[in-house]
């Protein structure tokens, strides 16, 4: 018999966070999150997402053992202002027992119906700035810091329970050439001169802070037509600053401003932290911090996390400037391979950015939807 119980104490929340450590103990490819970071993300007394979202967490038990978990989320901003009558679910992990999955998802349906919502979709986070999608391709690849890893049976369970794919993201592996393509360098010079654009380089993290709000504003403008879009709120921006700032290396941030000093484009790349996080195994103490620092200093792999371009400059060749700057950085740092952030499959404009770099699509993930 499967029993599903709500998480009501910090002790149970810790069990919720650490359950995947048991489930994926023998996996070569699962990259564990930092336990402290996960605890703070899920603690709505600390995470400001509680200003516009409710969340309930559940653990599934079989023979008095934890065999699954799920978070059920109602994002009121999404429901009331955007009109998506959706109950979200995320942090879905379970053993290969479809009855466990079914019991967990019943909690999603219960809460969705109680809130008079129309459909359930997941796995997703509190907003569109967080992890999303069940892995459907790339089971022999390490996940990145901002994606989930899943066993192949997750997708099979969803389909057997009548869920259909909703949004699909693709990820690419890109090999970095020894120097920038001539046409990239040429277009970079032309675009800089034509629009009087300047690249901003940062010497330290402190210099980045004045530009962070403008970066998120560009993200809102860049992605507001995509199906998963939910506007990023100022309190979320402040929260993400604090959450990810320790991982940022100033050399890996590229910002571009116009002649008035206005930010018109940016990109965020980070050294890959997958192997470092695997060694840390959820903890910064005693040696987890060391592995993170080493990954920042010496790495042959990077992850492309964010790119934002003001709509006024989209399609005008600004990406040539970004790519030329990144090329210099990668060659200087010894970066040979880059992984892209998950990109919606229909977002062909972003995927065209990589076409000259012989991209290999090595991962794919989807959210699943079912009417209530």
Q: What pLDDT is recorded for position 201? A: 87
CA distance 117 to 113: 6
Quick check: 272 pLDDT over 60? yes
Q: How confident is the prediction for the chain on average, in pLDDT? A: 90
Q: What pLDDT is recorded for position 246? A: 64
Q: What pLDDT is recorded for position 203? A: 87
- Supply 258's token pair: 């116009």
Q: What pLDDT is recorded for position 99? A: 97
Averaged pLDDT, 104-113: 98
Which CATH superfamily is 2-172 part of?
Gcn5-related N-acetyltransferase (GNAT) (3.40.630.30)
CA distance 371 to 163: 8
CB 73 within 8 A of CB 90: yes
pLDDT confidence of 56, banded at 50, 70, 90? very high
Quick check: 112 pLDDT over 70? yes
Identical topology for domains 2-172 and 177-335: yes
- Supply 276's token pair: 């470092």
Could you tell me whether strands 2-6 and 337-340 are parallel, antiparallel, or unpaired per DSSP bridges?
unpaired
* 13-54 confidence digits (pLDDT tens): 999 999 999 999 999 999 999 999 999 999 988 888 888 889
CA distance 365 to 169: 5
Q: What pLDDT is recorded for position 189? A: 92
The percentage of the chain sitting over the pLDDT mark of 90, rounded to a whole number, equals 57
What's this model's pTM, rounded to 2 decimal places? 0.89
Q: Where are the domains of the chain?
A: 2-172, 177-335
CATH 3.40.50.1000 at 177-335, yes or no: no
* 226-269 confidence digits (pLDDT tens): 555 666 777 777 777 776 666 778 888 899 999 999 999 988 88
């Amino acid at each position: 018999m499967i029993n599903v119980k709500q998480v009501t104490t910090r002790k149970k929340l810790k069990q919720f966070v650490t359950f995947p450590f048991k489930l994926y103990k023998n996996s070569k490819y699962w990259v564990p999150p930092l336990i402290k970071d996960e605890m703070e993300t899920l603690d709505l007394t600390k995470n400001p997402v509680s200003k516009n979202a409710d969340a309930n967490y559940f653990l599934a038990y079989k023979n008095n053992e934890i065999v699954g978990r799920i978070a059920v989320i109602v994002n009121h901003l999404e429901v009331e202002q955007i009109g998506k009558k959706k109950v979200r679910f995320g942090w879905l992990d379970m053993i290969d027992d479809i009855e466990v999955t079914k019991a967990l998802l019943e909690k999603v349906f219960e809460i969705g119906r109680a809130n008079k919502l129309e459909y359930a979709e997941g796995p997703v986070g509190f907003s569109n700035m967080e992890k999303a999608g069940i892995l459907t391709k790339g089971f022999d690849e390490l996940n990145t810091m901002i994606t989930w890893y899943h066993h192949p049976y997750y997708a099979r369970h969803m389909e057997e329970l009548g869920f259909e794919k909703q949004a699909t993201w693709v990820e690419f592996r890109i090999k970095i050439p020894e120097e920038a393509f001539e046409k990239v360098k040429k277009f970079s010079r032309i675009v800089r001169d034509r629009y009087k654009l300047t690249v901003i380089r940062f010497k330290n993290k402190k210099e980045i802070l004045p530009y962070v709000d403008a970066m998120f504003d560009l993200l809102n403008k860049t992605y507001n037509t995509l199906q998963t879009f939910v506007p990023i709120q100022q309190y979320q921006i402040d929260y993400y600053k604090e959450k990810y700032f320790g991982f940022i290396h100033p050399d890996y941030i590229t910002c571009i401003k116009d002649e008035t000093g206005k930010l018109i484009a940016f990109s965020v790349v980070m050294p890959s932290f997958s192997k470092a996080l695997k060694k840390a195994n959820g903890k910064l103490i005693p040696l987890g911090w060391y592995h993170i620092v080493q990954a920042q200093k010496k790495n042959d792999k990077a992850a492309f996390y964010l790119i934002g371009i003001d709509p006024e400059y989209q399609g005008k060749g600004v990406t040539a400037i970004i790519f030329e700057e990144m090329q210099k950085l990668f060659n200087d740092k010894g970066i040979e391979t880059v992984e892209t952030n998950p990109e919606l499959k229909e977002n062909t404009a972003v995927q065209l950015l990589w076409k000259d770099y012989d991209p290999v699509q090595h991962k794919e993930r989807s959210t699943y939807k079912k009417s209530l």
